[in-house]
Amino acid sequence: MGKKRIAVFSIDAKLGHEVKGATRYVFLAETLVAAGYEVDFLTSGFQHWEKRQRDLSRFDASAHSFNVRFIDEPGYPKNMCPQRIWAHHVMAKNVRAYFDEHHDYDLVYCQIPPNDVALAVGRSAKRYGIPFVVDVNDLWPEAFRIAFDVPVLSDIAFAPFYRQARRTYALADAIVGTSDEYAARGFRDRAEDIPKVVAYVGNDLAAFDAGALAHADEVDKPAGEFWVSYAGAMSDCYDLRTLVRAMALVQVDHPHMKLKLMGDGTIRGELESLAAETGCDADFMGYMPYPNMAAHLVASDVLVNSLVENAPQSVPTKIGDYLAAGRPMLSTSLSPEFWAKVDTDGFGVNVRPGDAGALARALVQLEGDRAGRTRMGAAARAVAEEQFDRKRSYKQLVDLVGRLAG
């Protein structure tokens, strides 16, 4: 009897020797192969993170143990633009065509969003009697409302996204979420009559530790400096304007406290201007390779999970890396799930977003409480090992696939 065949779909994966991209579904695919499955990894020919078409003639397939199947998709210049909506529409049509030719799978595991592409995958799976698992990695259109929230008009514009999400979840044989709040989204319009699994995005803890160790000597941290660091996207979802203003206040009396910002995004230029305007001593370090980022997180003193008041994120991707660094976290997330987690697990401090004064006071208090920082950092590392290490936490996803694939 041959191996069970699994299709894993992700539209924004980091593949081959690429530097940027999501790694959750790549790691899952590798884990499924190690568990004895044959895996086809379905993804776009367009590299979402770098906004370019992949050169498929130069793609190194030997970098992975699974098969990679690229599906054509037009490009788009930025995350929020009409061209992206059209590109995903075309991708959905091409996904349907792919499954019409290739449907000898025992299970399909699919990322959502994009909603219309996930719906096309789900309908194809149902057409050919294949179990269909939806993995909720973000909430569309909820995330769009951060940038475009106009009464009535937004409701009309986003109605198709809600409809696509509802129909996708209705087709699912199981729903996985990167947080409990995300998993619950799949059951808003249906009974909880199928398996629900929560598996944080997490990270490969061994890879994080290896990268941090290998690049530790490259981190130039002057004696006496206290680093407040953020790593991730710079967009309207993240309360980085407040963070810059707060650090400007902090540095009036505590000039040794420095702000380190790793990453890039649509509001980086605005943040740089704001730092200059407020006198905030901020180091905009740009995007850096994962091992280098790990080393800088470990060298930091406080890590900031910065989210605006209406952000839809609950447990963002960066949390696994923050916890792995073993440093206290200052969080402005109003997600009930994550707010409670910070308090219960004891790895940080919650502060409401949008209040630079409160954030500044919390940072100064953390700087003055070495024992508290040590305690929170140890708790963070313990949570990383117990709940966010993919080698441990993704076993439940392999078990789920085994139950549904037969």
Tens-digit pLDDT profile for residues 182-222: 999 999 988 889 999 999 999 999 999 999 999 999 999 99
- Asked whether 227 and 260 are in contact (CB, 8 A), the reply is yes
Instruction: Assign 146 a pLDDT band (cuts: 50, 70, 90).
Output: low
Q: In what order do the strands lie in the sheet with 5-9?
A: 67-71, 38-44, 5-9, 107-112, 132-136, 174-177, 196-198
CA distances to 117, 126, 170 from 99, rounded to whole Å, are: 12, 11, 19
Strands 107-112 and 67-71: unpaired
- Residue span(s) of the chain under CATH 3.40.50.2000 come to 5-202+390-405, 205-388
- Tell me the mean pLDDT in the region 384-404: 96
Q: How many residues does the chain have?
A: 406
Q: How far apart are CA 132 and CA 186, in angstroms?
A: 13
Q: Is 58 exposed, middle or buried (0-12, 13-18, 19+ CB in 10 A)?
A: exposed
State residue 80's pLDDT score: 80
Residue 148 has pLDDT above 80, yes or no: no
In 10 A of CB 126, how many CB atoms? 16
The structure tokens listed for 222 are 């002057």
Is residue 184 within a helix (H) or strand (E), and if so which, with residue range?
helix 180-185
Give the max Cα distance, the chain.
71
Quote the mean pLDDT of the chain: 94
Residue 378 has pLDDT above 90, yes or no: yes
Instruction: Assign 167 a pLDDT band (cuts: 50, 70, 90).
Output: very high
- Tell me the mean pLDDT in the region 378-383: 98
Task: Give 156 or 69, the one with higher predicted confidence.
Answer: 69
Residue 147 has pLDDT above 90, yes or no: no
Fold of 205-388: Rossmann fold (3.40.50)
% of the chain exceeding 90 in pLDDT: 84
Q: How many helices (H) and strands (E) does the chain have?
A: 15, 15
- Asked whether 336 and 342 are in contact (CB, 8 A), the reply is no
Q: Is 370 exposed, middle or buried (0-12, 13-18, 19+ CB in 10 A)?
A: exposed
Q: Does domain 5-202+390-405 have CATH number 3.90.700.10?
A: no
What CA dihedral angle connects 17, 22, 25 and 28, to 10 degrees? 70
- Tell me the mean pLDDT in the region 303-307: 96
Q: How far apart are CA 152 and CA 150, in angstroms?
A: 6
Residue 46 has pLDDT above 90, yes or no: yes
Q: How far apart are CA 250 and CA 321, in angstroms?
A: 25
Place of tokens 């209406």: 310
Q: How far apart are CA 348 and CA 351, in angstroms?
A: 10
Residue 1 has pLDDT above 70, yes or no: no
pTM score:
0.90
- Tell me the mean pLDDT in the region 351-356: 97
Residue 60 has pLDDT above 70, yes or no: yes
Task: Give 242 or 237, the one with higher predicted confidence.
Answer: 242
Mean pLDDT comparison of 49-63, 142-156, 200-214, highest-scoring range: 200-214
DSSP 249-287: HHHHH-TTEEEEEE---TTHHHHHHHHHHHT--EEEEE-
State residue 23's pLDDT score: 92
Q: 187: which residues sit within 8 A by CB, 6+ positions away?
A: 169, 175, 196
Task: Give 162 or 254, the one with higher predicted confidence.
Answer: 254
State residue 131's pLDDT score: 98
State residue 20's pLDDT score: 87
